[in-house]
Each structure stands twice: as structure tokens, then as C-alpha cells.
């Protein structure tokens, strides 16, 4: 059966996140235009290095998945700030209100 991902995102601390390009494009204006791999997925999937730590990407990608959005109120302030910056950078509008409320 085909894999349930068509791109791999790698955090700055070396953790791999298999993901779907369509989810990135639907939830983030940035990802649609940022890299050629996002417009035409390849097999084997491309691996894209991102500057965020894995702890930040875990929450960011949860906001871009077909699941209940994560709760960010319990995050340490530095982790919340890193997430809020990533949400702003990648224009993940569905996560902005949650980050703002938690700050």
C-alpha cells in the first residue's frame, strides 16, 4: 500500500516528521509557495529541513492535521513563544487564536 505521507520534514534537532503535502498547503499559505516539493510531491518523498525544534513542529503539525487541535496553555512560555513565531512565519491561521489566548 502507498505510504500515508508524501513529504518528510526534519526538525533542527534531527527528528523526522512524515506528512502530507496537501495538509501543509491547506493549512499554511507559506508551504504552498515555499519549496518546489510542496507543489509536486515525489517518491521517495523529499526531505525538507526546517529551523524549528521537534517540540515546536509536533504542535505546529498537529494544528495542520485532521485531528482535534492541541492544547497549548500548558506549554512553557519559551516553547509557546517558539510555536507562536512558527505559526506566524508559516501563516497557520487556525493556530493563531490558540497561541494568542495562551500568551
pLDDT given for residue 58 in this prediction: 96
Does residue 1 lie in a domain region? no
pLDDT in tens, the chain (103 residues): 456 888 899 999 999 999 988 889 888 888 777 655 556 666 778 899 999 999 999 999 999 988 888 999 999 999 999 999 999 999 999 999 999 999 9
Query: What's the grid cell of residue 44?
Result: 521517495
Q: Which domain holds residue 16?
A: 7-102
Does residue 28 lie in a domain region? yes
- SS3 sequence of the chain: CCCCCCEEEECCCCCEEEECHHHHHHHCHHHHHHCHHHHCCCCCCEEEECCCCHHHHHHHHHHCCCCCCCCCCCCCHHHHHHHHHHHHHHCCHHHHHHHHHHC
Does residue 37 lie in a domain region? yes
Task: Count up the domains in the chain and report the number.
Answer: 1
pLDDT given for residue 51 in this prediction: 97
Does residue 2 lie in a domain region? no
Amino acid at each position: 500500500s502507498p505510504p500515508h505521507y508524501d513529504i518528510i520534514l526534519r526538525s533542527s534537532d534531527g527528528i523526522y516528521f512524515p506528512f502530507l503535502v496537501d495538509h501543509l498547503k491547506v493549512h499554511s499559505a507559506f508551504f504552498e509557495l515555499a519549496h518546489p516539493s510542496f507543489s509536486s510531491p515525489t517518491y521517495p518523498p523529499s526531505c525538507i529541513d526546517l529551523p524549528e525544534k521537534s517540540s515546536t513542529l509536533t504542535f505546529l503539525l498537529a494544528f495542520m492535521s485532521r485531528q482535534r487541535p492541541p492544547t497549548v496553555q500548558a506549554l512553557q512560555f519559551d516553547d509557546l513563544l517558539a510555536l507562536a513565531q512558527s505559526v506566524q512565519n508559516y501563516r497557520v491561521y487556525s493556530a493563531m487564536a490558540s497561541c494568542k489566548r495562551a500568551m
